[in-house]
Structure 1
Amino acid sequence: MFPIIDLFAGPGGLNEGFSSVKNSDDSYVFKTLASFEMDSMACQTLRLRATYRELVRSGGDLRPYFEYIEGKRPWQAALLGNFKEAYRKAKAHVYQVELGEDNRPEVDAFIGAQLGPEEQRGHWALIGGPPSQAYSLAGRSRRTGDDTFASDHKHFLYREYLHILGKFKPTIFVMENVKGLLSSKNGDDSMFQTILEDLKQLDGGASYEIRSLVVDAEPHKLDPADFIIRAEDYGVPQKRHRVILLGVRSDVASIVPRRVLTKADGAVTVRAAIETMPNVRAKTSNRKPKVHQDWPAVQAAALRDIRTSKMVAKPEPAKTGPRAIGDYESWIREDCPSTTVQHEPRAHMVSDLARYRVMAELAERVGKSPKYSDLPASLHPEHQNIGKVGTPFTDRFRVQIWDAPATTVVSHISKDGHYYIHPDPEQTRSFTVREAARLQSFPDNYFFEGPRTQQFHQVGNAVPPLLSKQIGEIVASMLASLTD
């Protein structure tokens, strides 16, 4: 098995894909030696998932795991026998720490101990994605005019990744970040070009050839856009566009073949991802809207108007991929629990429930998500600037469309569900954690620890595991070429 070390691991989406790659004899290709993450709840999720993987690989009893995630057995009652032994091994490689210069000595010591003596290490891979808030378009928009933004330490956390590259010299690395990295600047300098230049002059003398996973071309002929991976092109039911760099150490690059991802035969849509899930309805919250109206009556009137209005021509639905849908369903449903876990909707204000109901039916008729301005005035949000010229975020309520991949699931889903309204008008709610996880391509037996807000946050911050698996297969073939 080839060792992997995961930096800025989050809840483990990138690791999950790599850890699922198998050889032709059904043995596993990769073994995780270390996962580094600063968030305590994400670390709990990582430990639990690593326990599950250890049980699967050792042929252990999975019943305590499933009984725990289904709420049938408390943690202490599950922590017995080979489950306890598997958890002990999982704890040994999940390391909670904030990566940064101050903590480099302890991180370096842990990596060195996990890898063993340099002369015995062989080929291995480093994976991970430095935090992206400093590069994302939304993050930059929120901090417009903030004089401290340029010096934000999050801009430079990629240097921790580069430090480990220089010190430990993995054969291959995979670095993931948001598409906004390509347009992000620190002062007058492009952050993307800065990172590429820094990769050419690593401490310790190591250097890497940077390749694209979607464009088969010599590195010097690649444009920045050639590093963007569109997840919906590879069987993920979500329009998630990310910059992913594949680095091959220069001393072996000439003998490692280039490989690129193979596109799916069509889209996996929201319908394919979540339509078969149990129907659930949201409860009402205790929060009172500022404007007091008879919301059921307002909703009923708006629905009558929609149903008597002329149909608007719908856009063509996405071309679905039968093979991609089959691969997705097999991935999601393998060894699934007996009940659907983490599928409880959050409560919403009555006013929002009325908007969700009307917007979902309108979206169903026109084939796209309406803006709040498409609603009658009685259903407009209670904001002072609503209706004024230049009102921001006119799409702050967004219905996900049945016959297309979802829009990007981001960590902000933990704050509210307005951007993730369920397309079924009868359910009248935002997505559950499990539905968001399905759009991210997490298997149904993947459990996110912590309160629901933390669960949503973890899902939104992750790399889609099904995409990661395909990247892992490419990395596996490259590493195998060095051992043939």
Structure 2
Amino acid sequence: MIFEGISRLENRSQKAFFIEKIDIMTRIIEEFCSLNNYSLDDYSINYFKIEIELVEIGIIVKSEDFDLLKGLLQRKFKSFCRALNFYIINKELTNFVLDKFYNNYRASQQRLAIEDFNAPTLIDFFAGAGGLSLGFIQEGFRVKLANDVEDVCVETYKLNHPDLNTSRIIKDDIRNVVESLDNLIKFNKEIDLVIGGPPCQGFSSANQQRIIDDPRNELYKYYIKAIAIIKPKFVVMENVKGMLKVADQVVEDFNNVNIIKNGKNVSYNVAYNVFNSHDFSVAQNRKRLIYIGIRSDIQETQNISPEQIIEEIKNSTNTNQRFDLKDALELIKPLDATRIKNMTENDSEESGKKVDKNIYFNKTNEYLRKINNGSNSYVVFNHKARYCSDVNYEIYKRLDQGEDSTSDKIADIMPYAHRNHVFKDKYFKLIENKPSRTITAHMKMDCHSHIHPTQVRSLTPREAARVQSFPDDYIFLGAYLKTYMQIGNAVPPLMSRGIAKVIKKYI
């Protein structure tokens, strides 16, 4: 469940995420009221009803916990109570905007998922913030287990996937998870699919070693071990385009998996292809190497090869609508970058807020309709412009769309001019009438490579998430800079969805 109960919090990290989620709940209601001209002060607070509601949410377990909550939240306590009091009275009016935070609601969604006997099932390793899972979920798949080692990714995944019990979202090293896999999957029917993108840090063009033998790629080896234990019908593995040079070695490693299924010796036949997310209607050029694997007995009975599936995925993109960066950046509040150091985490009307009212509520375009599945949100999450120094502000202002660090316009103030041969793309102003360049996790370090095409600032996390095709109601938890990491490492959900749609036909 998303709240474990305040009395069960054991460490500072758990308390920080606990408070963050309560802050978000408070802000959602405050911004809803601001958008619709309601006043929280018009409602007297009923603490008896609030206590009952807190139990339903899962924030407290018993009455004595109420004082614990007050002590933990301190000055935030009254604001939270005011917001929750309004929500209790006006749930239907708000279209139940806080549902995903409620343990009782999540339990009902999980029961429905369990009872959906015909839905194809999957396990997601290296799940990150959940982009790859999300695309498959949107095509009707049910996640039975997800795993990542980053606490912030796990918390984000938990919040945004209410139909999966949080006990099935494992924060741990895959090496430990593999050791426990038999117990973790014993209550599930046959798993149809395993997905994931194991990191392969040991790969480089100069490294002629077999990728599986490089000690830095031990995680990749454990991904293969997990496949051998789970024995799924299909495998989807995603990685960077640079791995293409060793792709045949990866195919060989899957071919060498030798398992017994239904009394027969089986292995995995694998094919691969470099796909561009832009072909899946994502407003971004993002090339990724996708492996499709089929268990050999399934290949025989279904009379389908991984090469055929890849060809079918390719063909399915031919009629997809293509979108440019401007489609992702439309209908979102203009912002000014904060110019004061160490203020990025602070909310303001000028530089943005972690939770803000959607001033374009009920307005949309074709791209936003597609990534939001036709829904609309009262609030916007993670739309905050990061700090910009005076020098960088001047650089951002001078550059025209498509210009980079080598532009003569910034030669006199370019701080890395002596290394332009290395840092040509250190600064780059995005082009609005083309698909965005690849959104990367490096944006957590700086966003000079992703300067907004028409405003003097870099892309916000929400804008980057839109470019990645995440829905607007997908909330990224954690510190501001870590939101860029989560978004940049993700597989675009629209791309994942296009792959899922084809594979689902053969399950």
TM-score where L is the length of structure 1: 0.68
Q: Distance in 1 between matches of 2:410 and 2:179?
A: 60
Pick closer, same or farther for the CA change 1:163–1:151 going to 2, 3 Å. Answer: closer
Alignment of 1:297-316 (within 5 A): none
Residue 98 (structure 1) aligns with: 173
Asked if structure 2 preserves the Cα contact closer than 8 Å seen for 1:199 and 1:208, the reply is yes
Asked if structure 2 preserves the Cα contact closer than 8 Å seen for 1:267 and 1:404, the reply is no
Q: Structure 1, residues 358-404: CA drift from partner, whole Å, max 9, x if none?
A: 11xx22xxxx23333432432211x4xx247x742122101111011
Q: Partner amino acid for 1:110?
A: L
Q: Distance in 1 between matches of 2:438 and 2:339?
A: 26
Q: Structure 1, residues 75-94: CA drift from partner, whole Å, max 9, x if none?
A: xxxxxxxxxxxxxx531210
Residue 451 (structure 2) aligns with: 421
Pick closer, same or farther for the CA change 1:103–1:95 going to 2, 3 Å. Answer: closer
**Mean alpha-carbon deviation: is it higher for 271-280 or for 456-465?**
271-280
User: Are 1:406 and 2:436 counterparts?
Assistant: yes
Moved over 6 A (4+): none
User: Are 1:168 and 2:230 counterparts?
Assistant: yes
Compute the displacement of 1:108 (Å): 3.7
User: Are 1:453 and 2:487 counterparts?
Assistant: no
Residue 339 (structure 1) aligns with: 379
Q: Secondary structure at 2:284's aligned position in 1?
A: coil
User: Are 1:393 and 2:393 counterparts?
Assistant: no
Pick closer, same or farther for the CA change 1:206–1:90 going to 2, 3 Å. Answer: same
Asked if structure 2 preserves the Cα contact closer than 8 Å seen for 1:343 and 1:434, the reply is yes
Q: Distance in 1 between matches of 2:320 and 2:121?
A: 32
Residue 147 (structure 2) aligns with: 36
Residue 19 (structure 1) aligns with: 137
Q: Distance in 2 between matches of 1:13 and 1:429?
A: 26
Q: Partner amino acid for 2:481?
A: T
Q: List runs of 5+ in structure 2 lacking aligned partners.
A: 1-118, 260-264, 343-364
Compute the displacement of 1:256 (Å): 4.3
Alignment of 1:185-264 (within 5 A): 191-204=246-259, 205-212=265-272, 227-254=273-300, 255-257=302-304, 258-259=308-309, 260-261=312-313, 262-263=316-317, 264=319
Compute the displacement of 1:210 (Å): 1.7
Residue 356 (structure 1) aligns with: 396
Q: Secondary structure at 2:174's aligned position in 1?
A: coil
User: Are 1:126 and 2:194 counterparts?
Assistant: yes
Asked if structure 1 preserves the Cα contact closer than 8 Å seen for 2:123 and 2:193, the reply is yes
Q: Distance in 2 between matches of 1:157 and 1:402?
A: 38
Alignment of 1:116-155 (within 5 A): 121-122=189-190, 124-135=192-203, 140=204, 153-155=215-217
Compute the displacement of 1:151 (Å): 7.3
Q: List runs of 5+ in structure 1 lacking aligned partners.
A: 22-28, 55-88, 116-120, 184-190, 213-226, 288-324, 480-484
Compute the displacement of 1:270 (Å): 0.3
Q: Distance in 1 between matches of 2:125 and 2:191?
A: 18
Compute the displacement of 1:329 (Å): 2.8
Q: Distance in 2 between matches of 1:13 and 1:156?
A: 24
1:278 to 333, 357, 362: 333
Residue 299 (structure 1) aligns with: none
The higher-RCO structure (CA 8 Å, 6+ apart) is 1
Q: Secondary structure at 2:341's aligned position in 1?
A: coil
Asked if structure 2 preserves the Cα contact closer than 8 Å seen for 1:228 and 1:241, the reply is yes
Q: Distance in 2 between matches of 1:469 and 1:45?
A: 20
Q: Distance in 2 between matches of 1:376 and 1:175?
A: 42
User: Are 1:372 and 2:440 counterparts?
Assistant: no
Number of residues of Structure 1 aligned to a counterpart in Structure 2: 351
Residue 73 (structure 2) aligns with: none
Q: Secondary structure at 1:342's aligned position in 2?
A: strand
Q: Partner amino acid for 2:255?
A: K
Q: Secondary structure at 2:145's aligned position in 1?
A: strand
